[in-house]
Amino acid sequence: MVFFLAIPFGMTLGDRVRDERVARGWSQKDLAARVTALRRQKTTQVAIHHIESRGNVMPRFVVELAQALEVNLDWLRLNKGPKKGKIERLPAPAERKSQQTPIRHYVGAGDEIHIINEDGPIDETDAPPGYGWETGGAAVVRGDSMRPYFDPGDILFFRHRRSPPASAKALPVRPVIVYTSSGALYVKKLLPGTKKGRFHLLSLNPLTPALQDQPVESFAYIEWVKPRAM
């Protein structure tokens, strides 16, 4: 998820990132590696390129970006205050409290996601590395219908919901969490439908028929999979 800031004059966030990176003699790949080490989650050279070329689009890992460049967070985000001085620091990994994510859903036959208990989560599990998992969810896989992608007992983590892309070329190529307009949730592959704004939902199991021309409200990437306990 990204946020847009309206800053009418002066350098953009992307300009500041690029200038600080170049001043240090780093490539975009070098900066991506430093951000990856801080986030403990993969950040690519392409992500850094997008930040530098898209003006004031705010990356969700802007704190780690400021730390990697050793500049003030407010200066990097908003061009306010001194560039150097107090730097936003994240606690070392060993000092971070273990974040918990509630398990509210299970994935059953037909790749449909169900609520386990209307009254609340029945369990919690350690959240993956990084931030923002409190805004998402976790679903445990039941049964064999999602093999070979996922095994029974795997936990699927997701967080940021996105609008379906208008272009078929921009559709995600891997299975995602699909939120339909009817309120049903699925783990499916998104394919273009025969009508504008409609999508075919392809099952992970070839024996399960695809859902045709479904109205999709949004989708979320499966960003982490915790394998079942052996």
pLDDT over 70 at 122, yes or no? no
Q: Name the average pLDDT for the chain.
A: 80
Dig out the tokens for 122 from the structure. Answer: 């029945």
Buried-state track 81-92, b at ≥16 Cβ within 10 A, e below 16: eeeeeeeeeeee
Task: State residue 85's pLDDT score.
Answer: 59
pLDDT for 142-165, tens place per residue?
A: 888 787 788 888 889 887 888 888
Sequence-ordered list of residues with C-beta below 8 angstroms from that of 43, at least 6 positions apart, any chain: 32, 35, 36, 61
pLDDT over 80 at 13, yes or no? yes
Other Cβ atoms closer than 10 A to 159: 23
pLDDT for 202-212, tens place per residue?
A: 998 888 889 99
Considering 10-14, 73-77, 170-174, 184-188, the range whose residues carry the highest mean pLDDT is 184-188
**Which residues lie across from 87 on neighbouring strands?**
none
0.85 cut: is pTM over it? Answer: no
Task: State residue 134's pLDDT score.
Answer: 66
Distances (CA, A) of 27 to 22, 24, 92, 150: 7, 9, 25, 37
The ranges of the chain annotated as CATH 1.10.260.40 are 3-78
Considering 9-13, 34-38, 142-146, 183-187, the range whose residues carry the highest mean pLDDT is 183-187
3-78 is classed CATH 1.20.210.10 = no
3-state secondary structure of 230: coil
Torsion sign over Cα 108, 109, 114, 116 = negative
Domain 100-226 CATH (choose: 3.60.21.10, 3.30.70.560, 2.60.40.10, 2.10.109.10): 2.10.109.10
Confidence class for position 21, pLDDT limits 50, 70, 90: very high
Instruction: Name residue, tokens 């007992």.
Output: 153
Higher pLDDT, 46 or 88: 46
Distances (CA, A) of 182 to 67, 101, 164: 43, 26, 15
pLDDT over 90 at 89, yes or no? no
Percent of the chain residues past pLDDT 90, beyond the cut: 19
Answer whether 78's CB lies under 8 Å from 7's CB.
yes
| Per-position DSSP letters for 149-208, written without gaps between them | T--TT-EEEEEEEEPPPSSGGGS-SS-EEEEETTS-EEEEEEEE-SSTTEEEEE-SSTTS
